[in-house]
Amino acid sequence: MKKTICIFITFLLLSPILCACGNENGDWEQKVLEYRESKYAIYKAENDKYGDYEVDVVFLGDSLTDGYDVAKYYPDYVTSNRGISGDTTVGLENRLELSLYDLKPKVAVMLIGANNMDTMFDNYESILRGFRENVPNTKIVLLSLTSMSGEWGKKNQLAAYSNVKIKMLAEKYSYEYVDLYSALLNLETGEIFSEYTTDGGHLTSEGYETLTKEITPAIEKQLNAWLLENQAKDPN
């Protein structure tokens, strides 16, 4: 399954090239649909397997999350990867019941918006309201958009501006916020460090190691907060 997913993620990253070559028969759209459905089947199986709050951390997002080997980086926790390559804030919101609400993890970590940066705030706050209304006992960690390079790097300024808004929303909803943009940024070039990215927008193993280093303290903090709150509710 992991090999199949990795191959398809690579296929998704090549989509602009493939689309430019023409795809009149709808094969591409069908493959995207099949991939999404395969991810939904994994989510459904996990949701059936675990009870409420048995999963420590769920990761929500697009290709950056989809390509993140969370089992490798968080071996001491029960984790679930709910990232789908190419997803947007709209796509994520539409699948939140299956991706998050039906599972009810202790902590949810979200990185989303790079694929629809120009419109991501049309519904970003709606996603946060959904968290509050549907999983009020789940702790939320919001990740900033990452710095980028090459063609993606042309949107670095917009990403930095968007991160200010994400941070403000995190404060408004009392959610944890982690700045990934600065951690990955080479100040000399104004772009992501070359060793952290495969193509300017997606991460290498070194990039994921840095990402993990940045977000682990926030995850541990929120897990501890969840445990303290729930022990207080049920001291037995």
CATH code for position 219: 3.40.50.1110
Owning domain of residue 108: 52-233
What are the pLDDT tens digits along the chain (236 aa)? 444 444 344 444 444 433 444 455 578 888 888 999 999 999 999 999 999 999 999 999 999 999 999 999 999 999 999 999 999 999 999 999 999 999 999 999 999 999 999 999 999 999 999 999 999 999 999 999 999 999 999 999 999 999 999 999 999 999 999 999 999 999 999 999 999 999 999 999 999 999 999 999 999 999 999 999 998 776 55
147 within domain boundaries: yes
Ordered DSSP codes for 100-137: IITT--SEEEEE--GGGTTTGGGTHHHHHHHHHHH-TT
2 within domain boundaries: no
Nearest to 122 by CA among 134, 113, 109: 113
- pTM, to two decimals: 0.88
Domain count within the chain: 1
How many whole angstroms separate alpha carbon 77 and alpha carbon 172? 28
